[in-house]
Structure 1
Amino acid sequence: MAGSKICTYGNKTCWVVAQDTESAFFRCLPVASTNETVLAETCVDPVDADPSCTVALYEAGKCEVVCNTKRVRKDVWTVEATGGTSPLLGQLQGYLQVLGRFLSDMYAARTVVLLVGGGGALLLGIIWLLVLQFFAGCVVWLTCSLVLVGLLLLSLFCSVRSELITSEQLGGGLAFMNATTIDTSSLAAASDANTKLQFKAAAYVAWVATVVVFLLLIAMRKRLKIAVAIIRESSKAIQQLPLLLFWPVVPTAFFVALVIYSVAVAAYLLSSDDLTAAVQQSAEVFNVTSAVATTEALPAKTTQQILLAFHVFGFLWTNQLLQAISVCVIAGSVAQFYWTPASGTGGRRELEARFPIARALRYTLRFSLGSLCFGSFVIAFVQFLRLMLEYLDRNTKQLQQGNRIVRVAFLVVRCCLWCFEKCLKFLSKNAYIMIAMKGSSFCAASARSFKLIFKNMARVAVVNSVSFFLLFLVKLTIALAVAITVFALLSSSSSLSLSSDQLALLGGETVTSPLAPVVVACVLAWLVASAFVNVYDAAIDTILLCFCEDTELHGETASEFMSSELQRIMGGDPHSADKSIKPTVIHVSPKDAAKQKSPRPLIESTGGDDKTASMSGEDAANNTNLQMQMQLQTQRAQMQQQQLQLHAFWQNQIQEISQIDPNAFDFKTHQLPLARIKKIMKTDEDVRMISAEAPVLFAKACEMFILELSLRAWIHTEENKRRTLQRNDIAMAITKTDVFDFLIDIVPRDDIKPAKKVRGAEEAGGEPHERGL
């Protein structure tokens, strides 16, 4: 209050407030006001008449003489702030009024903004999920057609303006164009020489671009089909894992907590007192000579800068680690979906884990946290280098103004670091997906993902381009739809506007202007759509890498893990029961069946149509027997599949050997060392002559022998719950087969341990980490 010396805190005496103030952002701003005071009124004509006597009063007989002219004296005074009137103060008062109305409208429409901007955006995202699953092909091909037509029209327009194409050449096409709103003759006549030259160059570029895009669409049609199928498969994955849509809430909450903590610690660091005085005082007690050296070694400003830089790097590292964990959890959940063969109706995949997201999070934190920390450290280090470069750039502005080489060097280094960071983020994201898929280290996952991307560069480029356009379209349409809906509900001129009673039921009020709620709702919808799109983008990248890994292992053929659409594109038969799988790779192991409460065989038995009866939780003995029967059924089914694969493989090998033509076959280009084989064959003195076909047949026999022994050894490896084939496994395979008796004393081995029983491992509480797929 103006003129008061009493504070509101503790009734203490304060300074005199000479002017009225108002509170804004915890600050007292002076209120400037202008007042007018009427001091005296006198009548001039006639003199000394009553100045208040008017014609009406005179006719009513209330006064004697009408005052024709009077003089009024006014005193105008203005209260200004100390030091004069500030123009900034007037602008600030205007901005505060606008901000006040903005916040008032936001508070009045808070319910509509949250419901439409948050819930409505999420509902639109789910609708887009269904649209992309069923109509992704239409959207993609329609977009490609519109791009091609647009380039064609642009080429024709530039050609007409540059007079490369005349009416005689176009014929009916020009007549059609003239029948529309485009007058080509007037356009060509209005062009001067320079303009024609520019349009001629543009026409050449446009025609080249049109031809290139047309040829690319023809050459990339299969890859476009694969991109559409991958997008549809990602939609199915998110539909089967709906909780993934709410997963971004977890890393966002941790990020908000990280920002609050980082801001608080930075505020404490920036407001910290001088450290040199305390160090110097404690040092003088013990050794006075070391006081000066200690003070010079710990200047306050340098120490504060070092601590602040360390704190900033910790913030960057933690932020990247949160993003890495988020990507790894999404990728792990979607990878479980892809590497589970479709068994239900409609191509539905029955996941083994009851909570696949929780399982992916547990595997990530338990087995892959070190790899994620290393990958996030590399990205954070590059980001920290960029911040240090910005700091140097800001402190060397004067040097850069006088030296152009230094300024160019800063720009080049800044651009290189930015590009390097983008490349690292791209490679790291794919490495995180491989870590979630296979459980390997960061370096091995980076090398593997880079190899897959390099070998499938065209597919990756097409899928990324198509997904970028579709996901941007999703975000844009969701934000625009939410903005239009909020405007229609809050605008008084709209037929869909809510009445005051309806707003009161929702806990809101009538707004003065719908602009502020529309802007906030649009921003909220964009954030929700971005979170949805980030999950969808990570799912697309995961399905893409899983598909590339699948084709790398099985070749350019259909596998049982692909969807029916992908199988048709890759040339397979989606209705065939016999999937084309190479026998040397077994992706899904039945080891997880023993860990489930109600285990399900991963490969159904081919004999009979009998179904396993549902387990009853009341009888523990029947439950245990049923589990053991299902485990044995799973092992028999897998062994049967391996035998079928081996049988088909040996038939192919025998057919290949029988079709060898000595005249057409180049024995010098064989992969195995034929000279070494020929030398071994001549160790017997009775062998005099060796034909050209004999070493080849022996080499093929060696390949068959190595493969047979490896498969038998790998069965022993899986029985022992391991993923690495060791020499003990080879020794066990030799002892189990009479054909290999001659190798028992040759192969070095340790003490052979018997295979672990599944039930024994289950009773021991061991839960092996199976991350390989």
Structure 2
Amino acid sequence: MYYLLADVQRCVPTVLVQAISSVDSIFTNTTSYILTADGVSQGNATALTQTLSSVLSIYLQLQGFFEVLYEDVVASWYIILIGLFIGMLLSMVFIVLMRWLAGIMVYLSMAILFLLLGVGTFYCFWYWKQLEGVEGSDEALEFSTNLLSYLRLRTTWLIFGCVLGGILLILLLITICLCNRIRIAVALIKEASRAVGHMFSTLFWPIIPFILEILIVLIWLSIALFVSTSYMNHFTVVDAPSDFTLANGTTCEFDTFNETYPNTTARCQFAEYALPWYTVYLQFYNVFMLFWLVNFIIALGQMTLAGAFASYYWAFTKPQDIPAFPVVYSLWRSIRYHLGSLAFGSLIIAIIQLIRVILEYVERKLKGKADNKVVQYIIKCLKCLFWLVEKVMKFINKNAYIIIAVYGKSFCSASQEAFWLLLRNILRVAVVNNVTDYILLLGKLMVTALIGLASFFFFTNQITIVSSFLGIPDVTYYWTPIIIICIGTYFIAWCFFSVYDMAVDTLFLCF
């Protein structure tokens, strides 16, 4: 631990302590510096003092900046919750409207997104032009904790305009190229909309796997912290004579040393607190179980949704033949009959992910020690290879779970059938998956953009009716709650639209 005088009221990090300790090396190292009669070069001492002052100043500025951000979140917490709730309602409204007007909603969401990007691009370039000639607007971009200072610079708005314009152009070109194929995806989304409309409980199913994954991560963190802090006393031999059995520095047992070697001047002395040699292996095992359990929960969630949507597709008379609780029945079937398939499929993914972690670990260990370019190149290639293998296996597993939920086959036979089925329809699969993902991404971006725009208008007091009713929180940076609301809204929309994605994949394999 490090201590300062009480009137400083600050905690000094290790990096500053190490920097301060380097002063001693300057005072004592006579080979690197020209010493005066006082024992140290005045120029070097001044430069070091200035460096330490600048480092400490940046640290204190960052600390104050993050404290202000925290205070802004505390002051606007109720507005953040209201924004996230409105984002959830907007996502649900979007889904409900797609049940009847899927095609219109898809094209309307695309038009709204293009309109928002177009308006944003126009506003950025317009404001960039308005700042022309304004004092201080042509200054260069420099690091500052005052975010509002960036908005007074013309360069900032020029960058915003170019980025938004580039995104608008790219999305517009993609839409034109995929115009005909979008119709295929729209037809599947319409059918998926009907399925979700008849089984509205599927929208809330992702909450349960998410909670289970959070619990697994918390358990993993607690075990990892316990293992990483399980230090043991490490004793070594000191003052050993030349003819003694053990050499100086050899590990010894303190409790039995004197009894084992009674007639000697050697002593068993405490050296340090050290982790046991097997700690690394325990951590690898802990990480492996994290991967396995998280992938198992993901697989269970996918199979549950696939079984629910399969029950909709194969119902002769809709909605009369659809089970009353399709998600519950599908979950029961998955647990009762397919736990082995889920465990085996998730085990494969976990092994691949563990190999990737081991490669990262080896690369870090070799960094700075091995200058062999061939070894580094091989490790890079292996990392790329196993990243690709993981992506492919996740795709195969997802479709295998759908086959298992529909036909009740084992994992291996379901994987084989799904693989050959997708391979025979590779072009249709590519079109449906990519276009569906693209359309759903547009929906998520539209919901997020609307909530973000509404939050911006609220915090800038441009919605006076709502502002007078709720009250604008006293925040330093209004961008802080806006960014949190946008990120949370995108996550909520992602959860809802992931159900749609699973519905489309299930219906695609069924027909």
What TM-score, normalized to structure 2? Answer: 0.67
Match for residue 240 of structure 2? Answer: none
Deviations 1:180-218 (A, max 9, x none): xxxxxxxxxxxxxxxxxxxxxxxxxxxxxx9xx98x97x
Distance 1:17 1:112, change over 3 A: closer
1:465 and 2:434 correspond:
yes
Shift of 1:280: 8.5
Q: Is 1:331 aligned to 2:300, yes or no?
A: no
CA displacement at 1:144 relative to structure 2: 11
AA in 2 matched with 1:542: T
Q: Deviations over 1:94-125 (max 9, x none)?
A: 223322322222222212211222x2222222
How far 1:255 moved relative to its partner? 1.2
What are the within-5 Å matches in structure 2 for residues 307-386 of structure 1? 307-341=282-316, 343=317, 348-386=318-356
Q: CA–CA distance in 1 between the matches of 2:403 and 2:394?
A: 14
Superimposed CA distance per residue, residues 8-63 of structure 1 (whole angstroms, 9 cap, x where no aligned partner): xxxxxxx9964414367999x9xxxxxxxxxxxxxxxxxxxxxxxxxxxxxxxxxx
Mapping of 1:531-546 within 5 angstroms? Answer: 531-546=495-510
| 5+ residue gaps, structure 1 | 1-14, 30-81, 146-209, 289-298, 548-773
Work out the number of aligned pairs and report it: 385
In structure 1, what residue type is equivalent to 2:302?
V
CA distance in 1, matches of 2:109, 2:205: 31
Cα distance in 1, alignment partners of residues 419 and 319 from structure 2: 29
Q: Give the match for residue 76 of structure 2.
A: 109
Q: Which residue does 2:387 correspond to in 1?
A: 418
Q: Residues 511 and 481 of structure 1: is their aligned pair in 2 closer, same or farther, counting only changes over 3 Å?
A: same
Contact 2:97 2:105 in 1 (8 A): no
**Matched residue, 1:406:** 375
1:636-675 equivalent positions in 2, closer than 5 A: none
Q: 2: CA distance between counterparts of 1:275 and 1:360?
A: 53
1:502 aligned residue (453, 457, 470): 470
Shift in Å at residue 479 of structure 1? 1.3
SS of structure 2 residue aligned to 1:498? helix
- Tell whether the 8 Å contact from 2:292 to 2:347 is kept in structure 1 after alignment: yes
Determine the structure 2 residue equivalent to 1:94: 61
Cα distance in 2 for partners of 1:520, 1:496 equals: 23
User: In 1, Cα distance between the equivalents of 2:184 and 2:8?
Assistant: 68
What are the superposed Cα offsets for residues 449-476 of structure 1, whole Å, 9 maximum, x if unpaired? Answer: 1122122222212210210111111111
Cα deviation, residue 434, structure 1: 1.3
| Residue in structure 1 matched with residue 9 of structure 2 by the alignment | 22
Match of 1:526 among 481, 485, 490: 490
Residues 466-521 of structure 1, C-alpha deviation per residue, up to 9 Å, x if partnerless?
1011111111111111111112222235545513x633xxxx84434421110110
- 1:128 aligned partner: 94
- Alignment map for 1:608-757 (pairs within 5 Å): none
**Cα distance in 2 for residues equivalent to 1:416 and 1:105:** 44
Amino acid of the structure 1 residue aligned with 2:226: Y
1:230 aligns with 2:179: no
2:278 partner SS: helix
SS in 1 for 2:349: helix
2-structure distance, mates of 1:431, 1:101? 49
Residue 269 (structure 1) shift = 0.7
8 Å Cα contact 1:427/1:446 also seen in 2:
yes
Q: Percent identity?
A: 30
Map Cα deviations across residues 554-594 of structure 1 (whole Å, 9 max, x no partner).
xxxxxxxxxxxxxxxxxxxxxxxxxxxxxxxxxxxxxxxxx
The structure with more radius of gyration? 1
CA–CA distance in structure 1, aligned partners of residues 504 and 105 of structure 2: 17
Which amino acid in the other structure matches residue 272 of structure 1? S
- Is contact 2:295-2:346 (8 Å) kept? yes
Q: What's the Cα RMSD here?
A: 3.6
Change (3 A) 1:276 1:382: farther
8 A contact 2:397–2:415 mirrored in 1: yes
Query: Aligned with 1:511: secondary structure?
Result: coil
C-alpha distance after superposition, 1:699-742 (max 9, x if no partner)? xxxxxxxxxxxxxxxxxxxxxxxxxxxxxxxxxxxxxxxxxxxx
Q: What are the superposed Cα offsets for residues 422-467 of structure 1, whole Å, 9 maximum, x if unpaired?
A: 0000000001111111222111111111122122222212210210
Specify the SS of the correspondent of 1:353.
coil
Alignment partner of 1:302: what SS?
Answer: coil
Write the distance in 2 (CA, Å) between the matches of 1:106 and 1:140.
34
Alpha-carbon separation, structure 2, partners of 1:26 and 1:86: 14
C-alpha displacement at 1:246, in angstroms? 1.3
**Are the counterparts in 1 of residues 73 and 480 from structure 2 also a CA contact under 8 Å?**
yes
CA contact (8 A) 1:335 1:543 kept: yes
| Residue pair 1:488, 1:496 contacting (<8 A) in 2 also | no
Q: Is the 8 A contact 1:379 1:424 kept in 2?
A: yes
Residue by residue, what CA displacement relative to the aligned partner does 1:647-676 show, whole Å, maximum 9, x if unpaired?
A: xxxxxxxxxxxxxxxxxxxxxxxxxxxxxx
Q: Is the 8 A contact 1:316 1:380 kept in 2?
A: yes
Q: Is the 8 A contact 1:488 1:495 kept in 2?
A: no
2:324 counterpart SS class: coil
Query: What code does the residue aligned with 1:128 have?
Result: F
**Does structure 1 conserve the Cα–Cα contact (< 8 Å) formed by 2:110 and 2:442?**
no
Q: 1:358 to 1:106 in 2, by over 3 A?
A: same
Kindly indicate whether the alpha-carbon contact (under 8 Å) linking 1:334 and 1:539 is maintained by their aligned counterparts in 2: yes
Query: Which stretches in structure 2 are left out of the alignment for 5+ residues?
Result: 17-48, 112-172, 236-250, 261-273
Q: What SS is found at the alignment partner of 2:232?
A: coil
Cα deviations across residues 114-162 of structure 1 (Å, max 9, x unaligned)? 1222x222222223224444444457789999xxxxxxxxxxxxxxxxx
More helix as a share of residues: 2
CA apart distance, 1:308: 0.9
- Cα distance between partner residues in 2 of 1:143 and 1:400: 53
**How far apart, CA to CA, are the structure 1 residues paired with 2:233 and 2:293?**
28
Please name the residue that 1:389 is paired with.
Answer: 359
1:455 counterpart (419, 424, 427): 424
Which has the bigger relative contact order, CA under 8 A and spacing at least 6?
A: 2
Q: Report if aligned partners of 1:140, 1:466 keep a CA contact under 8 Å in 2.
A: no
Q: Which amino acid aligns with 1:394?
A: R
Aligned CA distance change for structure 1 residues 107 and 230 (closer, same or farther; 3 Å): same
